[in-house]
Amino acid sequence: MKLSKWIGTTIVGMSLLSTQGFAQNTITVKPTIQRYLGENTSKLDRDKYMQAHIWIGEKEDKEFEAFKSTYNINPAYKGSRRFWNPLATVKQGKKPKVKNKYKGVRDVTPFSVSTGRATNFFYDRSVDYSEADVAAYSKEMAAYIAERYQKDWPEMPAIYEPFNEPFVHAKDLYPGKGNKAKSNKAIIKISEALRDIGQAVHAIPELENMKVAGYASAWPAFEVNNFEIWDTRYRTFIDIAGKDMDMLSVHLYDGKGLNNAGGRRSGSNAEAILDMIEVYSYISLGEVKPIAITEYGRLVDDQPGWTPKNGKSNYHPIENSQAVRSQMHLAMGFMERGDNLVCAIPFSTGKQPSTKKYAKAGLWTVDKDGKAELTSRKYFFEVLKDVKGNRVHIGSDNVDIQTQAFVDGKQLYVILNNLNEETQTLNLAVEELKGLKKVETKRIKTYVNKLPQLVKDSSKEAPSTIDIEYGETIILTYNFSKNLPTKKKEYSTKYYASEYLKPIKANEANTFDFQNVTADAKGSAVLRLGVGRAHGKSLQPVVTVNGNKVTLPEDVIRGYNQHNRKEFFGLLEIPVPAEYLKSGDNKVSITFPDSNGKISSAILKVIGYSKKSS
């Protein structure tokens, strides 16, 4: 998105303007410069992304095995996430006896996440848990869960996420109608239970392979009520339970429903959410906790006239396919967080009759005779089907074009994804093309009113330009006669400010200090600034770095301007000349011309050719 201000109804028309007239739209690829996220992450960990919200387990399933084979998914993959854990066996507080079946350190099932419901923990609907003293009960139940996992639970998850989306169900922890004050107290009780579970699991050496995640945030609308939702939910959770979690989990969706009031999270909104979690983790816990995206994608609509028990189909192929666009938009951002991301599970569900609610989100559709067929959601897996290798340098001067590039032997893979609502013409500046044999092009086009298309082509010549439609993903495979060498290495390091959530006042500077920076005048840098503001307020602040004024591009917002959200909450991505930085401490000043909102986070991303100073 390129427009920083809009007024009234002009926003809609203005938001649809292409950035083509303002950006060069050049994609620069340097395949002999190996790229690292942090100091150690270069290789694409396919297992983090090639997942779905399904569970097959030990069942024999020919279609599932064929699916894994077709899309080069790890043969050991049994599924990602399911609602099954020891707490689910506790009925009305009555706990099954623990049996001594296993000894020693428990092995875990790779890639698997087990979750459950807070209402199984806080089970008595007649009790007002927002007021009741449940401290002793909470620790007792947490110890029981950990003991079950240690001694008699047959299949151990790699990640135990005790409660699924618990805070949006906080009103279920007390009788009567929903009450904001009571719900906020219930959130504290849930956070304390998560803390107790984390402590109980970590106290047992035999469970060292099973990691604990929380809190599976359903509705990370942190900006609502001047960031009250942040304060009463995710911040409260981190303050109480953060240090006892191995990772922090969240759900991110485009579309409209429980997880999102409408509009798109993909792009600047998702980036601001994740940056805020990282920054506060750094400030509060002294470390940036890993992140697990245990659900993401798009909330697709139920079919007209469908109800849970009326026998009508809730699957429509075009509605189902809308999630492919959102999944790819979000996954491209997640791949750029590969050094701090544990997993990213797109919400595409398993086989079920078309009359079931989540048939609408199925990776398979099942007909009346029980025959299963992959839906259009297979195209998400088509993107990474053949992609592997180490990251290499790639850059885009259009913030709406998301990019990734990898080299594996004789192949260079370039992935392009368009968040802009208009078709973009891109200039492809790929270096080191000596020995090129051919270029294979694979396009995945997603549409609003028709099924997606997979289009393949090949050429002996490297294209110099390429058009990319809104929501389209293009995979270019450059095939060379010899292995591509590594001539240089570049490292991307994030530096976190020690302050966050600073009010914006007209013409008053907010300053952020970044310490122990390793500067490289031959590299590059980006200031990642999370901002929550009312529509119509400026998104083009005056920025200085160590006293040097930074010239902002016209477009610093990834994706659209959020015109159909109640307010703007997103990330401003501001390129900073590398020569403005110095090794050691750096001071950044941010000044907006108008009052309103807050700066939610500030991260300085520095790319250079040497590792961070210890």
Residue pair 13/560 in contact by the 8 Å Cβ criterion: no
Q: Kindly list the domain boundaries of the chain, sorted by start residue.
A: 26-38+387-480, 53-302+330-350, 493-608
Where would I find the beta strands (DSSP E) of 277-431? 291-299, 341-346, 364-366, 372-374, 390-396, 401-408, 411-418, 424-430
User: Secondary structure of the chain: what % helix, strand, coil (to 5)?
Assistant: 25, 35, 45
| DSSP secondary structure letter of residue 43 | B
Which residue from 35, 65, 71, 3 is spatially nearest to 377, judged by alpha carbons? 71
Quick check: is 63 catalytic?
A: no
Q: What pLDDT score was predicted for residue 17?
A: 32
DSSP per residue, 569-611: EEEEEEEE-GGG--SEEEEEEEE-SS--SEEEEEEEEEEESSP
Burial of residue 287 (CB within 10 Å: 0-12, 13-18, 19+) is exposed
Write the pLDDT tens digit of every residue in 190-214. Answer: 999 999 999 999 999 999 999 999 9
CATH of 493-608 given 3.30.300.130, 1.10.10.10, 2.60.120.1200, 3.30.70.520: 2.60.120.1200
Low-confidence ranges of the chain (pLDDT < 70): 1-23, 613-614
Distance between CA atoms of 584 and 84, rounded to whole angstroms? 49
Question: How far is residue 586 from each of residues 38, 258, 544, 581, measured CA to CA in Å?
Answer: 19, 41, 11, 7
Q: What pLDDT score was predicted for residue 1?
A: 58
Question: Do the domains 53-302+330-350 and 26-38+387-480 match in fold?
Answer: no
Tokens 């419901």, residue located? 117
Q: What pLDDT score was predicted for residue 342?
A: 98
Write the pLDDT tens digit of every residue in 443-493. Answer: 999 999 999 999 999 999 999 999 999 999 999 999 999 999 999 999 999
Neighbours of 568 (CB within 10 A): 24
Query: Nearest 5 degrees, angle CA 452-CA 458-CA 460?
Result: 160
Q: In this structure, what token pair is assigned to residue 319?
A: 């509605």
Q: What pLDDT score was predicted for residue 260?
A: 87
Spatial CB neighbours of 176, under 8 Å, sequence gap ≥ 6: none
Judge: domain 26-38+387-480, CATH 1.10.10.60. no
Three-class DSSP category at 438: strand
Query: 53-302+330-350: which CATH architecture?
Result: Alpha-Beta Barrel (3.20)
The distance from CA 244 to its chain's CA centroid, rounded to whole angstroms, is 22
Q: What pLDDT score was predicted for residue 15?
A: 33
Catalytic residue among 161, 278, 295, 490: 295
Catalytic residue among 161, 165, 432, 573: 165
Quick check: is 295 catalytic?
A: yes
The distance from CA 293 to its chain's CA centroid, rounded to whole angstroms, is 5
Spatial CB neighbours of 546, under 8 Å, sequence gap ≥ 6: 580, 581, 582, 586, 587
